[in-house]
Structure 1
Amino acid sequence: MRDQIQELEELDKKHFLHPNSAIQQQQQQGPGFIFTKGKGVFLEDIKGNCVMDGMSSLWNVNIGHGREEMGEVAKEQMSKLAFSSCFATFSNEPAIKLAAKLAEIAPGHLTATFFTSGGSESNDTAYKLARHYWILKGHPQKQKIITRSKSYHGVAMGATSATGLKPFRDFTNSLAPDFHYVDHFSSSALRDLIEAEGAETIAAFVAEPVQGAGGVHIAPANYFKEVREICDQYNILFITDEVITGFGRTGTYFGIEHYGVVPDMMCFAKGVTSGYAQLGGVMISQPMHQDFAELSTGTLLHGYTYSGHAMACSVALKNIEIIENENLIDNAKQMGVELLEEFKKLQSKHKIIGEVRALGLMGAVEIVKDQAKNERFETPLAPLIVMEAAKRGLVIRSVVFDGLDTLVFAPPLVITKDEIKQMMGVLSDTLSVIEKKIDKSFV
């Protein structure tokens, strides 16, 4: 067994270019975990180590790991029809049923879905459809896209260009044009930018209801109502990126529901299948859909090979059925309260814990040098805490962009109160170890 593990580790280092990885470190050290199975909120690696998945892997395994019924529905659909093209007039039953189900559960008048394979494709599609919409409406100059600082929208070219986190944009030296950024919590900054650029040149404003990869930033209570009013006033489409916040993550079906407004377009992925298959999409409002139908004279020249993938859509339908039958949205709401309470207990126990926040099962803990002054360490501690927590059986994530030193959390929606306490117990032990290690090198 040891030889098999070593062989896999060497093959990983030699042949597997990991996404969002430190390539040099990967080449030297190999994989930290080679996971082989999962159950609920737990993962097990090839060495037999069991860890709690405090991030739902990539914010997406909402129904938890190891759901055999998901494999069964995938097998059943693949045995009949795994895939067929949905280009032009071709369709399939799972895609039709999923589109109808999404129209049923989505906010307001979002009624039609364009399917993709994931979040980056969903965001790129939304920008492209928004610009095409204004061409059809006779306003081809409306092409600029406004997003927010600290936002993350994916790694395709358009999604990278839309991302407010500068390091992601710095990764490439040729961004797509016509993307602009405003302060993530200031509706007045949005209005100022619109007036400076000219509303007649702006196609859409894009926002995550809760900013995820940027550090779990929860908007002020009236922010999105003000945004909706501004977009209406200046004739600009409002697009929500629900790739992380959709399908129960925040304690509502979709994150924007907390704020009592409805977007014109909504991107989704991740939780639609809980990671059991690759799927995403963009929903558009009924008025937009009607305009597309009435104003289009040719072919909609946009589509992915796997748009409306039959097996993936079947998996999504089963995933949504589980979310509803097991009341996981309500559980996310209740367990989110528990999570925030546990964060506050950590805050009172550990001197390096600053601000804590959560909405449903999305949470964040700030790491500080001085709680009273909110002073930060010169060298961020969050990455070290993540590594130490993993050694003790907890997988979480750090965010150190734009001066942040933050731990973020997004456990599966099936998590229980006892499991939250277990997760926080591991974190508390980790923090105690880190606090003992703090010396002049961090000052």
Structure 2
Amino acid sequence: GLPTNRDPYGPLLPDFFQVSRDSLAAMREAVTYHGSERIAAIIAEPVVGAGGVFPPPPGYLEGLRELCDESGALLVFDEVITAFGRLGSWFGSHHYGVTPDLMTFAKAITSGYQPLGGVVVGPRVRAWLEADEQYMLTHGSTYAGHPACCAAGVANLEILRSEGLFERAREVGPRLRDGLEGLLDRPGVVEVRGEGLMQAVAFEHPVAAAAVADALPAHGVIGRALPYANTLAFSPPLVVSDAEIEEMVAATAAALADVAAMV
């Protein structure tokens, strides 16, 4: 997890270890070092979210799948951010063509109108769960299956389908990317990266992202700074209009100018 989230509560559990987000070689080395027979699962986001909006390098997710197949470990995708249209597909795994063994989801399944999350399991895990007819998975939560939340999820999924919002995300995502790339000539802007309607502007100065995010509301836009990667993230609703995309980009340009004037 992110150091800012983890540090106040102590270290990770001893049987967990972290590997660089984009190095398949480092992952293979870690599996070899710890022993493939001791690796239960590899957990990854299809696109790193709060850590800085980093799409996977070419072949990375495919490499994780191959490594899990070789070692016997389960591949787990955290799709809390990337599922339900953010990348223009049902899931990030669909977008990249890589099938995990387990997949977590939340947030966008109800578009945030009700709290709902879940886990999807593939055939391998399902077979294990169903091998003993007397076995009952008792690890649940107090409000699991809450009918109001589930109804909101069903209604939201129907809207995603009927209104063509996945197609809309695929259409408007490149427009957002193109607009943000127009800011690359601004002082201190070093990179624009992302996938679909999940884009980010990275800055050179350590506090620039927070400063620009603070300046944005004066121009009618709310942004989110990701201090861990000195990045300003943009993940607008799938119903965002072309005019609103232009407004976001113009507001970011104005906020950059405001910050530059204060330096």
Fold conserved between structures, TM > 0.5 = yes
User: How big is the shift at 1:351?
Assistant: 1.9
Verify the 8 A CA contact 2:168 2:238 in the aligned structure 1. yes
- The residue aligned with 1:198 is 35
Taking a change above 3 Å as real, the CA distance of residues 174 and 227 of structure 1, as seen in their structure-2 partners, is: closer
Whole-Å separation in 2 of the counterparts to 1:201 and 1:189: 17
User: How big is the shift at 1:304?
Assistant: 0.9
Verify the 8 A CA contact 2:197 2:234 in the aligned structure 1. yes
Q: What is the DSSP-based 3-state SS (H/G/I as helix, E as strand, rest coil) of the residue aligned with 2:6?
A: helix
Q: What is the DSSP-based 3-state SS (H/G/I as helix, E as strand, rest coil) of the residue aligned with 1:271?
A: helix
- Where in structure 1 are there 5+ consecutive unaligned residues? 1-162, 369-376, 439-443
Residues 131-146 of structure 1 correspond to what in structure 2 (within 5 A)? Answer: none
User: How big is the shift at 1:324?
Assistant: 0.8
Verify the 8 A CA contact 2:101 2:121 in the aligned structure 1. yes
User: How big is the shift at 1:420?
Assistant: 0.2
TM-score by length of 2: 0.96
**Which whole-Å deviations, capped at 9, do the CAs of 1:231-271 have from their partners, x for residues lacking one?**
00000000000000000001111112222110000000000
Q: What is the DSSP-based 3-state SS (H/G/I as helix, E as strand, rest coil) of the residue aligned with 1:257?
A: helix
Whole-Å separation in 2 of the counterparts to 1:302 and 1:367: 43
User: How big is the shift at 1:286?
Assistant: 2.4
**Which whole-Å deviations, capped at 9, do the CAs of 1:380-435 have from their partners, x for residues lacking one?**
1111111111222211111121xx32111100000011110011111111111111
- The residue aligned with 1:400 is 227
- The residue aligned with 1:430 is 255
User: How big is the shift at 1:174?
Assistant: 5.7
Verify the 8 A CA contact 2:129 2:135 in the aligned structure 1. no
Verify the 8 A CA contact 1:352 1:435 in the aligned structure 2. no
Whole-Å separation in 1 of the counterparts to 2:135 and 2:153: 31
**Which whole-Å deviations, capped at 9, do the CAs of 1:323-359 have from their partners, x for residues lacking one?**
11111111111111001100111113x1221110121
* Greater than 6 Å deviation, 4+ residue runs: none
Whole-Å separation in 2 of the counterparts to 1:186 and 1:347: 26
- The residue aligned with 2:76 is 239
Verify the 8 A CA contact 2:102 2:122 in the aligned structure 1. yes
- Where in structure 2 are there 5+ consecutive unaligned residues? none
Whole-Å separation in 1 of the counterparts to 2:157 and 2:14: 37
- The residue aligned with 2:211 is 384
User: How big is the shift at 1:297?
Assistant: 4.3
- The residue aligned with 1:352 is 188
User: How big is the shift at 1:296?
Assistant: 6.3
- The residue aligned with 1:301 is 138
Residues 27-46 of structure 1 correspond to what in structure 2 (within 5 A)? Answer: none
Q: How many residues align?
A: 263
TM-score by length of 1: 0.58
Give the fraction of aligned pairs with identical amino acids, expressed as a percent: 38
The structure number with the bigger radius of gyration is 1
Letter in 1 for 2:8: F
User: How big is the shift at 1:167?
Assistant: 2.2
- The residue aligned with 2:244 is 419
- The residue aligned with 1:361 is 197
Whole-Å separation in 1 of the counterparts to 2:121 and 2:102: 4
Verify the 8 A CA contact 2:46 2:79 in the aligned structure 1. yes
Verify the 8 A CA contact 1:339 1:358 in the aligned structure 2. no
Taking a change above 3 Å as real, the CA distance of residues 279 and 361 of structure 1, as seen in their structure-2 partners, is: same
- The residue aligned with 2:44 is 207
Whole-Å separation in 1 of the counterparts to 2:118 and 2:90: 16
Residues 243-258 of structure 1 correspond to what in structure 2 (within 5 A)? Answer: 243-258=80-95
Verify the 8 A CA contact 1:222 1:259 in the aligned structure 2. no
Verify the 8 A CA contact 1:239 1:264 in the aligned structure 2. yes
Residues 209-224 of structure 1 correspond to what in structure 2 (within 5 A)? Answer: 209-224=46-61
User: How big is the shift at 1:295?
Assistant: 3.6
